[in-house]
Structure 1
Amino acid sequence: MNQIAIGKRLTLGFGLLLALSLLGTLLGVWQLHAASVSTQAVIEQPLAKERLITDWYRLIHTAVRRTTAIAKSSDASLANYFAEEQKLSAGTTTEIQKKVEGLMQTDAERALFADISALRRTYTESRDTVIRLRREGDADKADALLETRFVPAAKQYMGRVEALMELQRKALDQSAAPIKAANDKARMWLIALGAITCGLGVVLAATITRSITRPLSESVAVADTIARGDLTAQVQSTSSDETGQLLRALADMQHSLASVIGQIRDAGNQIASASDQIAGGTQDLSSRTEHTAANLQQTASSMEQFTATVQQSAEAARTASTLASSAAEVASQGGSLVAQVVATMDDIHTSSRRIADIIGVIDGIAFQTNILALNAAVEAARAGEQGRGFAVVAGEVRSLAQRSAEAAKEIKGLISSSVEKVGAGTQLVQDAGAAMQNIVTSVGRVTEVVAHIAASAREQSDGIAMVNGAIAQLDQATQQNAALVEESAAAAQSLREQAHRLAEAASSFKVTEGTDLRRPASAAAVPKPRLLPA
C-alpha cells in the first residue's frame, strides 16, 4: 500500500466504494424491475379474472334482488318497468361470462365454470318463469315458484360464482408468494451488498488512514527530534509515496545538518587554533618590536657619539689646514709641528677606525631591521585584512632599512677613503720628519690632503645627518609597529573568543560519531606561522 501514491490510493479506495454503491444501485433497480415484471406476469391475469368474477357476482346479486322485488311486488307493471334493465343486465352478464370462460386455465376453474354455466341456465329459466307469471298477474304461482325454484337456483348459482371468486383470490395469494420471495431475495442482496460496501469502506478507510498517518507521525517525531538538536536518529523509509518521500527528505536534511554542524565544529577549532597561533606570533612580534626599539635607541646614542667624533675630525682637519698654511712661515718649528701633525694624524686614524666600526654596526642594524621588516610583512600577510596596514608599515620600515644600509655603505666607503688618506698623510708626515728639506713640497701636499679630509669630513657629517633622520623614522615606524601589534593581539583575542562561542553553539547539536563531515576547501587547516630568527 505504501508503494502507491496517496492520491492514487484515495482515488482507488473511493472509486471502489463508488463502484460497489453503483453496483448495489444497479442490482436494486434490476431486482425491482424483475419484481415488477414478475408481479405483472403473475398478478395481472388473475387479478383481471378476479375483477370480472366480482363484477359478475354483483350483477347476479342485483338481478336476484330485482327479480325478488318483481315477484314480491303487488304491482304487476313493475315487471314491465324492469324489463329493459333486466335485458341489459342479462346481456352484460353473458359478455362477462364469455370473458371469464376465455380466462379459465386450470381444470378446477373449468369444472367450476361448467357448474356455473349449468346453474345459470336453471337460474335464468326460473327467473324468466317468475317474471312471466308476474306479468300475467298470477302472483301466487309466481311467489310459489320464487320460493321453490328461483331462490334455491339463485343461491346455488351465486354460491358457485362466489366459489370461483374465492378460487381466484386464493390464486392471487399464491401468486403473491413468489413475488414476496423475490422481494425478500432482492432485499437480502441489497443488505448483503450494503454490508460488504460498508465493511470494505471501513477496511479501506482504516488501511489508507493508517498508511498515511503512521508515516506522518514518524515524520513529525523525526522533525521534533531534529528541532531538539538531536541529529543521531536513524530515519528509514521503504515506501515510495509522498510520506516516504517526506521521510527521505527529512533524512537528507538531518544528514546535511549533521555535515554542516561538523564543518562548523572543525572550522571553529581551526579558527581557535589559528587565533592562538596568531596571538602567540603577535606576542613574539611585540617582544621583538620592543627589542628593536631598544636597539634603535642604542644606535641613536652611538650615532650621537659618532657625530661628535666626526665633528672633532672636521675641526682637526681645519686645524691641520691652518697649520699647513702657516708651515711655510714657521719652518723653524717644523719638527714640533710635524710631531703634532703625527699625533693628530694618529688620532684621526684611530677615529677613522672607530667610525668604520660604528658604520659596520649601523650596517648590521640596517640588515637586522630589514629582516625584521620582512618577518613583519610575512606576519601581516598571514593576518589577512587586519594586517594590511601593518604590511604597509613593514614595507616602509624595510625601505628605510635599505636606505640606512646604502647610507652606511657610502659612509663606510668614505671612511675607508679617509683611513687611506690618513695613512698617506701619516707617511707624508713621517717623511717630512725624516727629510725636512722637502717640507715646503710636503706642506703643499699636506694642505691638499687636509682639504680632501675636510671635504670628506663634511660629507661624513651630511651622511650622519641622513643616518640620524633614518634612525628617527625607523624609531617612529617601530613605535607604529608596536601599536599595530597591540591591535593585532586584541583582534586575535576577539577572534579566539568568537571561535569558542561558535564551538559552543555547534556543541548544542548531537551528531552521530563517524558521520561523513565533508569540509569545503576554505576550511582547510591554517598553517602555523613561521617566525624568522631575530
Structure 2
Amino acid sequence: MKLSQWTVRRRLIVSYLLMFMLLMVVAVTGFYGLRVSNQALHHVVDVNVRKMALLEDMSDAVHVVSRVMRTVALLDDVAARTDQERKIPETREKYNKAFESLKAMPLDNAGTQFVKEIAHQATVTRPLNDRFLALELAGDKAAAASVLMKEAIPANTQWQDMIHHFITLQRGKNLADEHQAELAYQESILIMAGITASALVLVIVISVAITRSLLKQLGGEPAYAVQVAGIIASGDLSKPVIVEAGDNSSLLFAMSEMRQALSVMVAELRSSAGELAHSSDEIASGNVDLSQRTEEQASSLEETAAALEQLTEAVRLNAENAWKANQLASESTALAGTSNDMVAALIRNMDAIGESSGKIVEIISLIDGIAFQTNLLALNAAVEAARAGEQGRGFAVVASEVRTLAQRSASAAKEIKDLIADSELKVKKGTGLVKETEASISSMVSSVRKVGEVIAEIDHASAEQRTGIEHIQAAIANIDQVTQKNSTLVEEAAAASESMRRLSHQLEDMAARFMLAEGLSIRPAAAIAGKGRTGRQPPLKPLLS
C-alpha cells in the first residue's frame, strides 16, 4: 500500500512508532552497555576487592599468630604469656570466618586450587603451633624454641606466602577486569553514537516524507483550506475553490466537490420546502381523524373489558363449585373403598366360620363313631353279663347305662351335625350375598372414581378457562393502555405536524440565506452524490480517521 493511501492517523502513528522504536533501540543499547560496565565494576568491587580484603584478613591472622608465638617464647612472666596466648583463639576465629566467606564466593580454577592449598597448609601448621604452646605450658622452653624455629615458623611463613600469592593473583585479575570494563564502556559509547546518528537520519527522512504526503493530501496550505471552510460555513456557495491542475484526490478538491453538491442540495431544498409545508397540513388533518377513531376504539375496549370481568366472575364461581364437587367425589371414593375393605374382611370371617363348621362336623362324626363303638361294646358286655348270671348282674347294669349314654351321645351328635349342616348352608348363602355386595360396592367405587376424574377434568378445564379469560382480560387491558398511549401519541403527532409545518417555512427561509452561483439549475437529488466536474471523482473518503 502506498503512503498516499494511508490515513493521517495511520501515518502519524506509524511515524511515532518508528521514532519510538528507534528511541527504544538507543535506550536498550545504552542500558545494555551500562549493564555490562556495571557488571564489570560490580565484579571488581564486590568480588575481587572483597576477596583481597578477606585474604588480607587471613594474612593478618597468620601474622598475628606468628608474632604471638615469638612473644610467648621470649616472655618468662606467666601472666604475660597467658595474656598473649588468649589472642590465638580469637585470631583463629577471625581467620576461620574470613576463610569460610572466601570459599562461599565465586572462584575460578586457580582460586579453587589456592583455597585447597591454603586449607591444607592450615591443617599442617596449626598442630605445630599447638605443639609449641603445649611445650611452653609444660615449661620445656628449649624444646618449645626448637619446635618454633625449626617447624612452626617455617610452616607459618609458607602459609602466609601462599596467601600472598593468592593476593597477587587477585590483583592481576582486578586490573584485567578494570581494563575489560573500560573497553565495554568505550564500545557502548561508540555503538550508542552510531545508532543515535542513524536514528536522527531516519527521523528526518520520515518527517520529510510525512510532511510531503500531508501537503499533497491537503492540496495546498492548511490556512487556505481553513479560509475555504469558513466561506462555505458562512453560507457563501458562489465562490469556486482553487485546485491545482491534475488534483482529484486532495482535501481542497473534496471541498470544491462539496461546495458544488451543497449548491445543488440548497436549490433542491428551496423547491422542497413548499411541498413539505403542504404535506404537513395534510398530516395534521389526518391526525385529527385518527384521534377521533382512537377515542371510539378506547370506548369499545372499555365495554369489552367490563363484559370480560363478568364472564371471569362466572367462570371463577364455576371453578369453585367444580373444586367442591371434586372434594366430595374424593370423599365418596374413600368411603366406598373403606366399605369394600370391610366387606372383604366379612367374607374372610365367614369363610373361616365355614372352615370351622367343617372341622366341627368331622369331630362330631368321630364322636358318633365312638358312640356306635361304645354301644356295640356295651351290648357285648350285656351279653357276657347275662352269661355270667348272678355274678354279672352288676356289670350288666353298668353296661346298660353305658349303652344308654352311648345312644344319647349318638342322638346328640346327630342333632348337632344337623344344626351345623343347616348353619353351614346359611353361611354359604350369606357368603354369596356378601360377595355380590362386594361386587356392587366395587362397581360403585369405580363409578365414583370415574365421576371424580370427570369432575377433576371439569375443575382443571375451568381453571384453564379462567386463566385464559384472565389472559384475554390482561391483553385487552394492555390494548386499552396502548390505545390510550396511541391517543396521546396522536395528539402529540398533531402538535408535531403543526410544528413541522412551521419549521418547513423556517427551513425555506434558511435556504434562502445561501448564496448560489448565477444560472444554477436544480438537478435531481441523485446528482448530489454524482461524480463531480471531471466525471472521475469516486465517493469521498474520510481524510482524518
TM-score interval for Structure 1 and Structure 2 normalised by the shorter chain: 0.3 to 0.5
TM-score, with structure 1 as normaliser: 0.36
Q: Which has the larger radius of gyration?
A: 1
TM-score, with structure 2 as normaliser: 0.35
